[in-house]
Structure formats: C-alpha cells, structure tokens
Amino acid sequence: MLSKILKNIIGIIIFLIIVFITLFILFKHLTTKSFYEETGRTEVEGLREKTEIFKDNFGVPHIVAGNENDIYFALGYIHAQDRMWQMDISRRVAEGKLSEIFGYEVVEYDKLFRTIGINKISEKLYTELSPKSKEILEQYTNGINAFLNKRIKQLPLEFDVLDYKPEKWKPEHSIMVMRLVGWELTISWYTDFVFGKIAERFGPEMAVDFFPSYPANGPFIVKPKKTTSKISFDTNSTINQPAHQLLKEYSNHIYNESFPIQKKHTTLYDHINSYATPYNNLTSLLESFVDKCLSYNRFIGKDCLSYSSGSNSWVISGKKSETEKPILANDPHLLLSIPSRWYEVHLNRKDIHKNISGFTIPGTPGIAVGCNDNISWGITNLMNDDLDFYLLERDTIVKTNYIYQNKIQRPDSTPELIKVKDIKEEVEFTVWNTELGPIVSELEKTGFSNESRLDPGEKYYLALKWTGEEFSDEILAFYEINNAKNWNEFRSGLKHLGLPALNFIYADNQGNIGYQCAGKIPVRKSNFAYIPQTTENEWVSYMKFEELPASFNPEENYIITANNPPTKEFSDNRTGSKNYISILFEPPYRAERIDSLLSTRNFISVNDFKLIQTDIVSLQAKEFCSYLFEAFSDSNYKSEDTRYVNILKRWDYKFNTSSPAPLLFAQFEIELYKTLFEEKLGTELFKNYIMIKNVPVRTASRILSENTSWLLDIDTNKSKIENRNQILVKSFKNAVTKIKETLKTEDYNKWTWGELHKITMNHPLGVVTALAPILNIGPYEISGSGTTVSNAEYSLQRAFENQNYSVFVGTSMRMIADMSNTGNTITILPPGQSGQPEHPNYSDQMRLWLNGEYKITYTGNDFLKYATYKHLILDPKTGYRNE
C-alpha cells in the first residue's frame, strides 16, 4: 500500500516536472523567438550598398555605410529590431488606434488624441516638409519595413500577448511620434485648468499668491552683466501688480462679476469666506478633457506630471577644463520606464570618414542629443507655455455656431470611425474644430459623447490652441544639427525647430561653447496666459528666432541649463515683461547647485562631471530647513521636538538612501504644503495643485522668503491667525508623527530614505500580474530627490495620500562629451538598449546607473580597435537596388 502511494507521489512529481519544463520551454520560446540576428549576413530589400552593424557588449549599434540613404535605412532597421513594439504603441497613441489592440476600455484615449488631432496634423505636415526631410523619412521607413518583412512571424512577446501584428510603417508615423513627444512635454493643459479653478474660487487679487514665481536674482541661463550670489525674491508688493491687473482684466471678460476686495473684514479668512464663490464655473467646461488626459497618463504609468519637467545640461570652455577643450554634459529627466525613451547609436559614413553618435527616439531618424567629429550638443525643456484654452461665445440662434472676431462661424466637423478589438461595429464620433483649434468642452465626465451633434445647452465653447498644430520641420532641424561643423551651422539647423521648444547647449573642438533657445514661442496680445481666457488675448505671432535668448563664449566660461529661465527678461510675467515664455520654470536649486560646483573651480575633469551628474545635495532642503531652524530657536519647545530637529541640523542635505534625514525632510515638506495650501484649497483642489511639483515648491519658497503672504495667516479652525514659525513648527511635528505611524517605530535610526524611496522600471504591460516578473525591473532603493542634480522624483500626490515615495521621474540617460577626445563618449542608459524581455541588453545598465557608473561608447573612425563587437552584414537583395 505504501509502495503504491509512493509511486503515485513520484508520478505526480514527474508530471509536474514535465509540465514545468514544458512551460519553461514555451516561455523561453515566446521571449526569445524574436531575438534577431546580430551576427552573420543577410539580404535586405532597399539598400544601395553593403551596410555593416557592429554591436558592442551593451547593445549599442555602430552603423557603417557608404552613403547617407543606407545610414538612415539601417537606423530604421535597427530601431525596429530592438524597439518595434515601443514604436508601434507610440504611433498608435498619436494616431488614436489603441482600441484596435486593447479593446473598448481605451476608446476614450483614441477619441482624446483624435480630438487633439496629432494624426491629421502629421499627415498635413508631411506634405509640407522639405525634400531632404522626405528623403530621410522615406529611407528610414524603408528600413523599418524591411525588418518587418523579414521578421513578421517572429515578433516580440508583447505582440503575442496582445495577439496582433504591426501595420506597415509610414513616414507620417515618425512625425506622429515626434508630435506626441511635444504633447507629452507640455503641461499647460493642466496648469491652466488648476490655476483657473483657483482664480474662480479666490478671485484675481488673492489667487496670484498661489501662482509660482521665479527669484528676481536668478539663476538664469544667460547671466546678466552683474549678478549677486544670493537668491532672493523682490518683496516689493508692486512687482505683482501687472499680473494682478491682467488676471483681473481677463477674469472680468470671462466671468460675470469681478472679485470684490472689501477692507471691512477683520481677518483674511472672513474675506475669503465671504467672496470665495466661483464666477461662472468656467473650468467645468474643461473638467472632462483634463480628466481624460490624466486617465491616459495613469494608463501608461504616468502618475504625476513632473515627468515632463526636468533636465540638466551644462558646458565648460577649455579655460576651465583639465583638457583645455570644452566638456559638455546632459541628463534629461523623464518618466523612468522600460523600454527607455532613448536609444543610443553611432553612425559612421565610411566613404567620407564622418561620425555622428548619441541618443535617438525610436520611431524617429534624428539624433536628439549627441556629438559628431566637430561638435557636441545637449538639450533641456524650455518649459514653454505653448498651449491656451480660449472661450468662444456660442450663437444664440444657431446654437452650434460660435462668434469669432465679431463674425458668426460654423465649426468644422470631421467624422471619425474607431475600430475596437473583439467588437464588430466601429465606434463613431465627431471632432469639431474652430478657427483656433479643436473644441474640447464637449466631453462627458465618463467619456466622450458618441453623438455627432454638439450640446446646445452650453453658452460657450472652449477651444484648444497648441503650437503643435503649426508647421515646423524637426527632421530637417536635427539633420542639420547632426551634420553641423560649427556654431553658425548649428544655429541654422535650430531655425527649423518648432516643437518642443528646447534649450540647446553647444561645444566644438575649436574651443567654442554656446547656448541657443529654439522653438515656437507664442506672442500674445498681453503677457498673461495661465488661465482659460478670451480671444482678446489671442496669439498674434511667434517670437522670431533672432529675438530668442542666446549666448556664445560667455565671460564666465560655462553655461548651465536646468529648466531655469533663459534670462531675467524671459523669466516670468509677474513683472509685466512682454517676453513671456512660461510661469512653469523649474525651481532654481539644481541650477544653483551646478553653478556652485563650476563657478569657483578650474581644471575641471570628466570625472568631476560624473560627480556633478550624480550629486544628491538638495539646496531646497537647505533653504527650507533654515526657516525651520529659526522657528525652533525658541527655547520653549520640548526636548523631544528638538531631538528630531537635530537630525536635520546634523544633515549635510544629501538624499542618501541610508539616512533618516531625507525622509524626515520629505514628510515635513508634504505637511508644510498641507498646512499652507490644503486648508485653503480643500483636499481635491490641493491634490490637483501639487501634481506638478515645481508649483508648490516655488510658491512655498517665495512665501517663506517674503513672510507676507495671506496664505500664512489662516488657521484650519478659523479661530486664530498663525505666523510663519507656527506653521513650520506644526508641519514638522505632524511629519514626525506621520513617519512614526508609517514605519511603526519611534527609533529614528531605523528611518531610512531608501525604505520608502524606490524605483521600479515598469513596462506598459507589467500591470498584468503574470507578466510583471518578466517585464518589470526592480524595485531598487535610490538616492536623490526632485530637487537634486541626480534627479529621482516622486509623486507629491502619492506621498500625501499614503506616504508612497516611489520614484517616477529621473535621469533617463547621462552623457558626457569631452571635445579633446570626440571618439569617446561617456554614457549610461537605464535600464538598457533592448526592448526585448530576457535579452541580455534589456536591463544590463540598470545597476551601473544606480551606482553612478558609466560606460564608454567609442565613436571614432577607429572604434573597432577598442572593443569587441557582434558583426552583422546587410547586403542589398540580389536583383534589387534602391535608387
């Protein structure tokens, strides 16, 4: 009997082992069947001449070709090899075709992007591109499709999971991908909504205190002739008068009544309580549009909007460098996900011994950040306010018509049909367009209306105007940048750039350094542009390229861009400046920190640049703590309170994973914002307000510095007026209590930043439980914060709701280019080059990146001497020659 039971058990075990082995083999087949050939020789339709691809150990391809057409063909081929699913998803988002693969639950996102119109815009733009741009796109597209033709039956895992095959790539798809990047880098659609709600609630005179401003003394990218080292805000109340006046003026146009300021109220609380009623609830027209944008962001893993905000880039001249030649650094801060947004590549024209290398965006043919044999360049987001919502009054007789420039206009209608997976009938809806752009106020809270008519009940439309609707030729821009040999040729290429507006820094092997602001920057009738408005503040033109800020070989011998304003004149519009770019520049702390590490030193080396890029000191923490220490200087506070304050007093302001101080400061920061803003805004509007972190950070910095804002004066219980010190002390005590509750210990030696501050590289399909271990990478503890040079930003919303400090945004890649040795580029790309799960290059750079380490990419004509490579030869297919 026992023997029989034993036999049965052994049989079951053997069966389970067989099942496990079978599943393992099936899993390996699904994840590796799409692994492409990296060595050998293969024939490809579309090439003119033999083209070689050498891949180093990190999967960086070195494309060697004898003509320009084959270079772009091979780039398209190699992008498709490593990132085909990523490319296909990007163009599906932009084209409004996600429902074809995900089903009905994402129909609202397809309607959203078809309303924005990236698909139609891109199709129109393609017809207007330069002949050179069309030629590049055609060759790049041919390369993508050549790969698909060869490997259509051996596609990556994601295509199997979703059970579909990619469509043939079109040149227009690359434009869609680039316009989608431009859309993702704008946040004005959200801030206009939030600032508009605040203006409705508090009125123009008081709402301005919620709006961020920039320190009067900078730092600025182009330094004024005379600067002071101390960062300060102008406390003269008249500095805000132009913004007050403009906000009041446009509020009076938009709303039925202005916000009355009456001096008879004894406290500011009474004042707000009496008059904080919405004018006409204008922003309700925007709620469904904003809701869908946020829902889409959550769908693709973007829980906060700061993913578009940050980047660092700086350059020093040979007068400050150890090599006596310029050194340039760049580390864009974007959503950290897998696959990476970037793809590193080296292009070698063997016929003319020419090299271009750097980082591309899969789906597009240009190198966005990189270097060639003569120059190097880096980019940061300009933070351009490139989008506005305009209020259009509807005709009282024919309700679907609207009034524009004193004329009755009929909106254009475009019927759209959306194919949905597993549903026979296509979803119908209509996009309505005005002279200013698409109507975005006809969206229901739970989705878009499927009806082709407009709601006759509303008195107004809200139309979206965006620079992405305008013509610009980014293909030509980056082609000329990639091939530039000097400053003038470099700037000539930038003239073609429209979207996104960027800061470019430059270095060349002749010892020159430079900065140029580039992109389409709207000129409005007034400089006020950060709430929904009437057409009286319509765009009248764009700033001319020659008028945009620039600098060449500055006397400081270095240039820093960290999403700070280009110049004081372009800083913001609170002073009434007509050179309005944005109100949304990043806080000054990263730029200040980099400046402090460059300004007083000479003989700076590449290793010094590495240390700066991985620096985790927060000057924001130093500033806010100085106010906190002053608040606790009173000896009346309990020893227990000062014990926790002393943690911060002993701190060097480094956001190390092993330290308790960063966690204590981060929680104190949240509690401070709650005390300053939540008690006035209410919880929901407060959560909206802190979604873009630079807004509360900059506003709180100004409030604490000036110590005069009415936001300091109101207690939650409405029973007393508080001062700055009381607010700081209360916020700190609340922070200590919250950490004790979260970590369930009062022993601060067990409080560490890394306990809560972690990074997981999430794949879009990693939300599926069974796929998460295969597709996602992490979690890992990570140093830094949102205001350190080594950026590691978390969502303030999540931290507010449940003390979740998981990192979403960070240094998406790092590059250092030493112009004394243009054949070596120092880079790191987390988590890796390949988009294929289980591939050796899927996540092989992750640990290096976390540890602040780098690799060398050899990019000279003799690159083969310095590393080992996998060698793939692409031959033109016999009997076929692409002319």
Peptide bond before residue 500 is cis, with ω within 30 degrees of 0: yes
Closest CA to 881 of 50, 77, 37, 168: 50
Residue with tokens 């055609």: 138
Distance, in Å, from the CA atom of 31 to the CA atom of 152, rounded to the nearest integer, reads: 15
> Of 728, 755, 782, which residue sits at a domain end?
755
Q: Is residue 784 part of a domain?
A: no
Of the residues 705, 732, 755, the one at which a domain ends: 755
Answer yes or no: are the C-beta atoms of 686 and 201 closer than 8 Å.
Answer: no
Residues of the chain scoring pLDDT < 70: 1-2, 4, 6-8, 11, 15-35, 226-281, 302-309, 443-457, 527-528, 572-578, 634-638, 714-721, 879-883
C-alpha–C-alpha distance, residues 207 and 631, integer Å: 27
Backbone angles phi, psi at 872, to 5 degrees: -120, 130
Residue 21 pLDDT = 54
∠ CA 828-831-834, nearest 5°, is: 100
Number of domains in the chain: 2
Provide the residue range defining the domain that includes 11.
Answer: 1-32
Given this model, what pLDDT does residue 275 score?
A: 31
Q: What is the 3-state secondary structure (H, E, C) of 606-652?
A: HHHHHHHHCCCECHHHHHHHHHHHHHCCCCCCCHHHHHHHHHHHCCC
Q: Which token pair is 483?
A: 């091939």
Residue 653 lies in a domain: yes
User: The tokens of 25 are what?
Assistant: 């083999």
Q: Report pLDDT digits (tens) over 85-135.
A: 999 999 999 999 999 999 999 999 999 999 999 999 999 999 999 999 999
For the chain, how many residues are written? 883
Tell me how far apart the alpha carbons of residues 793 and 302 are, in angstroms, rounded to a whole number: 12
CB 813 within 8 A of CB 311: no
Pairwise CA distance, residues 295 & 625, whole Å:
36
Q: What is the dihedral angle through the alpha carbons of 446, 452, 458, 459, rounded to the nearest 10 degrees?
A: 140
**What's the token pair of residue 681?**
């805004």
Overall pTM > 0.85: yes
What are the C-alpha distances in Å from 709 to residues 237, 626, 718?
A: 10, 19, 17
In angstroms, the CA 825 to CA 368 distance is 15
Strand partners, 268: none
Gap between the Cα atoms of 762 and 336, Å rounded: 8
Instruction: Please state the φ and ψ torsions of residue 90, each to the nearest 5 degrees.
Output: -60, -45
Q: Sign of the CA dihedral 331, 333, 338, 339?
A: negative
The whole-angstrom separation of Cα 216 and Cα 170 is: 48
Q: Note whether 393 and 400 are within 8 A (CB).
A: no
**What is the CA angle 269-272-277, rounded to 5?**
150
Residue 416 belongs to some domain of the structure: no
Distance CA 565, CA 222 (A): 9
Cα 34 from chain centroid (whole Å):
30
- Pairing relationship of beta strands 870-876 and 40-44 according to DSSP bridges: parallel
Which contiguous run of DSSP H or E holds residue 731? helix 724-743
Q: What is the pLDDT of residues 733-777, one digit of tens each?
A: 999 999 999 999 988 889 999 999 999 999 999 989 999 999 999
Residues 6+ apart with CB under 8 A from 449: 429, 442, 443, 455
Task: State residue 877 phi and psi, 5-degree precision.
Answer: -65, 135
Tokens of 687: 């959560």
Q: What is the separation, in whole angstroms, between the first and last Cα of the chain? A: 80
Sign, Cα dihedral of 82, 37, 878, 864: positive
DSSP per-residue codes, 371-435:
EESSEEEEEEE-----EEEEEEEBPSSSTT-EEETTEEE--EEEEEEE--TT-SSPEEEEEEE-S
CATH code, 629: 1.10.1400.10
User: What's the gap between Cα 798 and its chain centre?
Assistant: 18
Element (H, E) at 849: helix 846-850
Is residue 711 situated within a structural domain? yes
Q: Is residue 660 part of a domain?
A: yes
Residue 715 belongs to some domain of the structure: yes
Whole-angstrom distance, CA of residue 289 vs CA of residue 305: 16
DSSP states of 3-41 as a string? HHHHHHHHHHHHHHHHHHHHHHHHHHHHHHTTPPP-SEE
Residue 47, both tokens: 């090439």
Of 711, 736, 755, the domain-final residue: 755
Q: Are 423 and 107 in contact (CB under 8 A)?
A: no
Closest by CA to 107, choosing from 427, 542, 468, is 427
